[in-house]
Structure formats: C-alpha cells, structure tokens
C-alpha cells in the first residue's frame, strides 16, 4: 500500500541512520527466511512491534518500502519524503548507537543517569546524517528509542538536547509549521555539518525542507546537485540569504558549492522590502541588482578569515546583499567582495551589464542601514564558474589571435 497526501489512515514511520545490512524492498518480497540473519531484519521487526504497541497497524520504513531498483519510484519517494514524515501520525526515531545502560564485567547491564543518556544522545550518528534532518523537523509527534529499543522518556531536557545538537530552534521542533518563517541561509546552516553516503544526497535530502522538487540524477556529483537545488529555490523565492555564505575560495559565483559553506555563518534574516528586484540565472551568469560601493568605509566591520589591517583591493567592490546578519547582537547588512571581469560586454534585454566575480569568499563586510544609503544600486551579472571559464577561453583565444596578427577568419577554430 502506498502512502501520500491522500492517505486517510494513521501510520507510524521510522527515522534511523542506515547500517550496512538493511533489509531492502525486493528482499522483503521474497524468501524472508534468507534475510532474518541480517542486522536490519531485527530493526524492522522491532520497529513494527513498537508501532503496534503505540496503536498503529500501518508502518513505513524507507529501507524496504521503496523499490530503489526503479528510478521513477526512487525519484518519487525522494521528492515526497518530507510529506511522508509530515503526514505520519508518529515518527519512531531509533538511535542505534545510544545505549541506555553500561555493560558490566559480568555482562550485566547497569542503568545510567539521565544526564549520561542525554550526553550520549548529543553524539549520536543520527544527528549527523543528511536525511534525518527533515525526519526530525517534519513529524508532528516523535518517540525516541535507544539501542535496545527501550523508549527514551520524553521531556523538556530531551527536546533541548536535540534542538541544541541539531542547531535548530526549539520553537520549530514544537511547531513544525514555523519552518516557512526561517530564511534560506539558516536552513542551509542546519545541513552544514551533515553527511550523506552518496554525494548527491546532500542536495536531494534538502528539497522537502525548501518545499521544492528536483529530478534525481545520481552520478551528476554533489556540487551539480546542490547547484540545481539552489536554482530551484531561487525560482520560488527572492530570499538573498541564499548568497550569504563563506567559503575558502579565491573566486566564485554567488552560488555556494555545498551546505558546508554556511557552517560558520552568523544568524541570518530577511532584509526590508524597500528594494526588492527579481534575480535569475541565465546562460551568461546570475543577473541581479546589488548595492555597490567603491572603497572600504568607516564603520564597516570585517568578519571572516582576514589579516589585521588588510586593505580592500582597488579593483574590488563591496556589494550589499538584501538581507541581514546578526553581529554582536546587532542586525547589519552583509557585503561580499566583487571583482570586475574586464574585456567582456554582456547584454540582457538590450541593456549592457557589467560582469563580476565574487572574490575573497571567506570574508564579509557588514554595514548599517544608515551607511548603506550612500551605495548605488546597479543591475549586474555575477559569473558562475562555467560562465567565467567560457569567457577566459574566449579571451585567451582572441589574445592569441591579436599576438599573431590574425583575424578570426584566418585562425583555426578552437
């Protein structure tokens, strides 16, 4: 039986960190005697038992309820996963590496204190996996189980431990419908320390959190998958916190390379709506309207990995993002460094646009709104890596022609 938005029966759903011996869809359909020795079999049985004990006759588990051999079924499940957990009546969270006891020398078990148990929960592998992020946020009701399938007593201290360890507001865990109020950059930050077995999954596992759908293309690479996720988010939102990341790159476009680029970012929020303009990705780069300055100004606060006393390169411009960052308790505007790309003319809708690249990507400036009023807003193009590489190849080709004194008609095509 399939579950979906039209499901009208209550069901329990399992959240867990995958292990090496999970029971898969095609195995559960065949000779079950052949799989009862797998570690995942006991997990499946104990989960179903826990669901029944909580009054649910239907249960769903991602290991054996998705036929991953069929790409259409896999893609549908991945893009529906957030809703599967959102629509569940109970999410049973199994923490396989959290033991509720200490093993004594005589193999007996000694109960541990609540404080010891919470300390173990803080370091559980479940909190480090990409897929379990949406499995934590989406359900309306959660029950946690230790390694021996003993239920972990609920309480404010447990909720605080989970929220703090996950870097998520407790209010959101109490009211999942507050998710839409959290800006894009903050949601990205939740995933910045999480890992997935397949590199593309670090993007796919976030689709539901941003309420978007993207095709599942295993083999495209994590960076390409994350780029497509960002493009889909941009298509649905003008939230510029998506550009408020820091990474150790000499130059880049405005798109991040992975959620890890948001790891050390201070608290982010949406900016005022006084200067909102659409932005979009084209085949020449990202067209966007940003406030541009021309030199480092008094009152600007530099944050990030920057040497003391370092000056702004004359070719670099600070560009204000239309969002806010909290620094020392004050909300300010973050500015990134842009460097002009010379010898190129780009036109959008008949209008010439200057081209830029983001540079010194590990650093920011911050500015108050009072200081920002002197900045000039301009429609520009920020080149992504593939756009910049294309321009560099074209520039090099024509530079070679000029050096040889050849016209484009005389030279061989490259």
Helix (H) or strand (E) holding 70: none
Q: Rounded CA gap, 11 and 3, in Å?
A: 9
Supply the pLDDT for residue 266. Answer: 96
Supply the pLDDT for residue 403. Answer: 58
Supply the pLDDT for residue 5. Answer: 64
Q: Rounded CA gap, 232 and 204, in Å?
A: 12
Q: Rounded CA gap, 302 and 312, in Å?
A: 11
Supply the pLDDT for residue 397. Answer: 78
Supply the pLDDT for residue 319. Answer: 96
- Angle at which helix 114-122 crosses helix 156-166, to 10 degrees, equals 20
Report angle CA 102, 106, 109 to the nearest 5 degrees: 30
Residue that is written with structure tokens 């929960």 in the block: 121
Tokens of 321: 């993002």
Q: Rounded CA gap, 215 and 384, in Å?
A: 22
Where residue 347 falls (left for φ over 0; alpha for ψ -120 to 50; beta otherwise) is beta
Q: Model confidence over 201-249: pLDDT tens digits? A: 999 999 999 999 999 999 999 999 999 999 999 999 999 999 999 999 9
Helix (H) or strand (E) holding 7: none
Residue that is written with structure tokens 């959620």 in the block: 259
Give the 3-state secondary structure of residue 341.
Answer: coil
Q: Model confidence over 103-139: pLDDT tens digits? A: 877 778 899 999 999 999 999 999 999 999 999 999 9
For the chain, counts of helices (H) and of strands (E): 12, 18
Task: Give me the residues of the chain with pLDDT under 50, please.
Answer: 296-299, 305-310, 408, 411-414
Query: Which residues are CB-neighbours of 13 under 8 A, at least 6 positions away?
Result: 59, 60, 61, 84, 85, 88, 90, 91, 92, 139
Check: CB of residue 325 under 8 Å from CB of residue 244.
yes
Give the 3-state secondary structure of residue 103.
Answer: strand
Check: CB of residue 124 under 8 Å from CB of residue 94.
no
Q: Rounded CA gap, 1 and 14, in Å?
A: 16
Supply the pLDDT for residue 9. Answer: 92
Supply the pLDDT for residue 302. Answer: 58
Supply the pLDDT for residue 31. Answer: 83
Check: CB of residue 7 under 8 Å from CB of residue 85.
no
């Amino acid at each position: 039986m399939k579950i979906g938005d039209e499901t009208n029966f209550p069901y329990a759903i399992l959240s867990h960190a995958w292990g090496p011996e999970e029971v898969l869809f095609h195995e559960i359909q065949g000779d079950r005697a052949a799989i009862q020795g797998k570690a995942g079999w006991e997990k499946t049985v104990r989960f179903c038992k826990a669901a029944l004990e909580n009054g649910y006759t239907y249960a769903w588990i991602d290991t054996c309820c998705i036929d991953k051999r069929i790409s259409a079924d896999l893609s549908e499940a991945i893009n529906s996963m957030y809703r599967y957990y959102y629509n569940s009546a109970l999410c049973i969270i199994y923490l396989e590496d959290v033991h509720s006891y200490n093993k004594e020398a005589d193999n007996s078990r000694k109960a541990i204190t609540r404080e010891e148990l919470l300390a173990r929960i803080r370091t559980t592998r479940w909190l480090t996996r990409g897929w379990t992020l949406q499995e934590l946020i989406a359900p309306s009701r959660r029950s946690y189980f230790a390694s021996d399938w003993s239920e972990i007593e609920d309480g404010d201290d447990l909720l605080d431990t989970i929220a703090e360890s996950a870097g998520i507001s407790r209010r959101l865990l109490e009211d999942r419908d507050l998710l839409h109020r959290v800006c894009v950059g903050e949601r990205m930050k939740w995933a910045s320390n999480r890992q997935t077995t397949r590199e593309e999954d670090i993007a796919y596992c976030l689709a539901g959190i941003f309420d978007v759908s993207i095709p599942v293309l295993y083999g495209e690479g994590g960076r390409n998958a994350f780029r497509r996720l960002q493009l889909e988010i941009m298509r649905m939102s003008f939230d510029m916190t998506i550009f408020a990341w820091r990474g150790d790159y000499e130059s880049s476009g405005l798109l991040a390379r992975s959620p890890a680029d948001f790891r050390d970012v201070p608290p982010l929020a949406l900016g005022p709506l006084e200067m909102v303009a659409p932005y979009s990705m084209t085949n020449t780069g990202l067209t966007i309207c940003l406030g541009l300055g021309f030199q480092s100004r008094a009152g600007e606060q530099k944050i990030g990995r920057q040497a003391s006393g370092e000056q702004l390169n004359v070719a670099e411009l600070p560009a204000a993002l239309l969002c806010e960052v909290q620094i020392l308790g004050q909300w300010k505007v973050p500015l990134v460094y842009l460097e002009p790309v010379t010898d190129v003319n780009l036109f959008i809708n008949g209008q010439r646009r200057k081209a830029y690249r983001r540079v010194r990507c590990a650093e920011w400036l911050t500015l108050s709104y009072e200081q920002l009023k002197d900045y000039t807003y301009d429609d520009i193009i920020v080149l992504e890596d593939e756009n910049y590489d294309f321009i560099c190849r074209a520039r090099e080709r024509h530079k070679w022609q000029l050096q040889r004194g050849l016209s484009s008609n005389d030279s061989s095509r490259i």
